[in-house]
Amino acid sequence: MNTPVPPRVHWHKSTHSGAHESNCVEIADFDDHIAIRDSKSPHTGHIALTRQAFATLLTNLTAKP
């Protein structure tokens, strides 16, 4: 879902993204959503998840197999 992000939203680069790594993401907190975008290509858009969906995503990404 690519919902409009207000122009003054502050994007935060992931602390897991190194200075010279090519896999970087940024997140922004706005209204009741968390937006995620590629830090190398911010003009290509973003996805927006509800806070609950974002929490579920993080839980699934950090779960050990």
Hey, how many other C-beta atoms are within 10 angstroms of the C-beta on 24?
16
| Residue 4: inside a domain | no
CA distance 24 to 6: 22
pLDDT at 42: 84
Residue with tokens 């409009």: 4
| Residue 5: inside a domain | no
Q: Is 15 helix (H, G, I), strand (E, B) or coil?
A: coil
pLDDT digits (tens, 9 = 90+) for 16-28: 666 666 678 899 9
| Residue 42: inside a domain | yes
Handedness of CA 30, 51, 4, 23 (dihedral sign): positive
Domain assignment of residue 37, given as a range:
12-62
Distances (CA, A) of 47 to 1, 30, 41, 42, 54: 5, 12, 13, 11, 11
pLDDT at 43: 85
Count of domains forming the chain: 1
